[in-house]
Every structure is written in C-alpha cells, then in structure tokens.
Amino acid sequence: MAALTTIYQRLLKRFGPQYWWPAQSPFEMMVGAILTQATNWRNVERAVDGLRRAGALKPQALLALRGDRLERLVHPTGYFRQKATRLRVFTRWFMSRFGGNPARMFREPHEGLRRELLAVDGVGQETADSILLYAGAKPVFVVDAYTMRVLRRHRLSGARATYEQVQRFITDALPQDPALYNEFHALLVAVGKHFCHRRSPDCTRCPLGELPHTSR
DNA sequence: TGCCAGGCCGGGT
DNA sequence: ACCCGGCATGGC
C-alpha cells in the first residue's frame, strides 16, 4: 500500500500548492473557520468580504456590531443566527482570554489551547484544529469530511474510524511538520472537491486511482 | 430540481 | 459511545 508521503507527493504534483488558509490575518482565519462549518467556501468568501467592508475583521469592531447587522453580514453562509452567535461568543472569549492578540494566544502550548477552544460554544474538533494549524502554525492535523471520505474510499482507514483515529493514523505516519500538515490537508480537500463527493463518487480519475477503493 | 457544502450541539438510545 | 434532527443559504 502506498505510504501517505507518496499520496501527498502525488497530490502536490497534480494540484500544486494550495496556499492555505486564504485569510489576511489570524483573526480573519478564525472567523472563516467558524463560517465555513458545513458551508461552501464560496458563501464564506461573500460573508468575509462583507465583514471586511464593514470594518468588522477586528475583534472589538465585530463585537461593536448590532446583532441584526452581524446576522445580515453572515447571512450568505447559512445558519446565520447560529453563526452570528458563535462569532460573538468566540470573539468575546478571544478578547477576555488573550486581549484579542493572536501572538499571545498562540504562545500557549497547543494541547491546552485545544482544550480551551473546544470549551467555546460552537468550536468542535475540526474548527479547533483548523485554528491551531492555520492560524497558529501548530503541528496539528485537521480531519474533515473530505479527509474521512478520501481515506475511506481508498481503504486507508476503516469505515467506522473516528476523528481521533484518523488524526492519529496520519500524524503517526508523517513527520511532525506544520507546513506539511497545512499543505496535505488542503490537498485532500482539493482532491475531494474534484473527485470525492458524498454521492456519485467519481473516483475513476482520482490521482490516487491506482489504489483500491470502494464507493463509500 | 434536488443534493450538497472545508460542522456543531443537544437529546435520545 | 454512537445516532439523529435541527440549523439555512447559494451553486451547479
């Protein structure tokens, strides 16, 4: 079976570097991480652009928005009431815990920081790990729906594998390198977007096609 | 037209 | 420890 590093190299050759996370600041990245939950990235871009035009991509500015204004700004991402609330809850935590200062936040060891993030309402494992890797450059691998599907369909993980199991499988097989984790996860999303959807899996032209795969 | 998108939470088994 | 329903808009 092909090692993960082989898959990584194959994907990099096929898709090229992905330059993740597409954000201009750590706070913008963290906002995007919440907005992209179960949502097309296209819609997130619209919302982030709106927030930028409103000058709300700074913690205190976001918190100064009226509730209904914030809801309208995040409206294109769906779940707009939940997400407006989650953004405010997260930002309040970020302000009170770290003074809204990302450098101070990521000075923390990532294990403890992960636990704190998970305690924030609206931040689950993927969102927490995304923030640690893509805003904080911590050596934490992000597992998402595409990661699960791609690995499953190529029989690199079991059908019932959990988030933690997949995460450990990957981090145990690769050097502990944030830049590598960054690129690999982004590439898994790229290949997933092209070839690995929930239904009607078109794995035949997948760059990993030499590997055996199932339709789930 | 329906199905899906870079999840998370709370309640039930 | 899972499993499910709710949350909601925009694109192809």
Residue A198's pLDDT is: 83
Residue A2's pLDDT is: 66
Q: Which nucleotide is nearest to A149 (CA to C1')?
A: B6
A173 neighbors A3 (Cβ within 8 angstroms): yes
A186 neighbors A193 (Cβ within 8 angstroms): no
Q: How does pLDDT run across A51-96, given as a tens digit for each residue?
A: 999 999 999 999 999 999 999 999 999 999 999 999 999 999 999 9
Residue A210's pLDDT is: 55
Q: Model's pTM, two decimal places? A: 0.95
Residue A187's pLDDT is: 97
Q: How does pLDDT run across A1-21, given as a tens digit for each residue?
A: 568 999 999 999 999 999 999
Covered bases, chain C (protein CB within 7 Å): 2-3, 7-11
Q: In angstroms, how far is C7 C1' from A182 CA?
A: 29
- CA atoms within a 13 Å half-sphere pointing along the CA-CB vector of A213: 22
A65 neighbors A100 (Cβ within 8 angstroms): no
User: A59, exposed or middle or buried, with CB in 10 Å at 0-12, 13-18, 19+?
Assistant: buried
Task: Tell me which of A37 and A203 has the higher pLDDT.
Answer: A37
Q: Which nucleotide is nearest to A39 (CA to C1')?
A: B5
